[in-house]
Amino acid sequence: MAGSETHYTLPRPSFDKPVKLLIVVAPYYKDIADNMVAGATAEIEAAGGTFEICEVPGALEVPTAISIADRTSNFDGYVALGCVIRGETTHYDTVCNDSSRAIQLMGLQGLCIGNGILTVENRPQAEVRADPAAMNKGGGAAAAALHLIALTRKWGAQTKGVGFKAPGEAIQLAENSNGSTTA
């Protein structure tokens, strides 16, 4: 049983500048969603961050809300929360696969997203995973987003100084370093 295993948890990242996250939650199962939000907000606050919460109708709308926020707002990262419990139809597979795929694609494009959309067989599984005093998957999703933000800030300021540079980038780099416009 997964609840009896122990897992390594990375130390909480620290930040020189404030960090702001958007928690996007689908409260279809309100009690489960509330527990996940409690875990996520506690983790963000423990890291010194701030957050806003946005509710959407279901797990399929979570990635869309994150995409809208990324285009129109100034969040450092996102926490995706919700719960999909297997039912009698293939709708479960569609919701699980499509929401996860969309979040993963946005992550590969550079967004810092912690995916806390539970995909479970039954309500008791969801309850133990959402409980901040048990598996705390909401807190885990927030921690994942915070770690990705820390990596983005760490690596975002670095330049390798080697390898291929696009023509415009090479010219800009040359202008910045010596005032001339040689590539």
Please determine, for residue 14, whether its predicted confidence score (pLDDT) is greater than 80.
yes
Per-residue pLDDT, 178? 47
Which domains, from first to last, does the chain contain? 19-178 (3.40.50.960)
Lowest-pLDDT range, 43-47, 55-59, 107-111, 174-178? 174-178
Q: Is 91 a catalytic residue?
A: yes
pLDDT at 180 > cutoff 60: no
Mean pLDDT in residue range 121-143: 97
Q: 53: how many CB neighbours lie within 10 A of its CB?
A: 14
130 in Cβ contact with 83 (< 8 Å): yes
Mapping DSSP to helix (H, G, I), strand (E, B) and coil, where does residue 65 land? helix
Q: Quick one: pLDDT at residue 161?
A: 64
Element (H, E) at 80: strand 77-85
Which is the catalytic residue, given 12, 30, 91, 123?
91
pTM comes to 0.84
On the question of pLDDT at 46 being above 70, the answer is yes
Question: Is pLDDT above 90 for 16?
Answer: yes
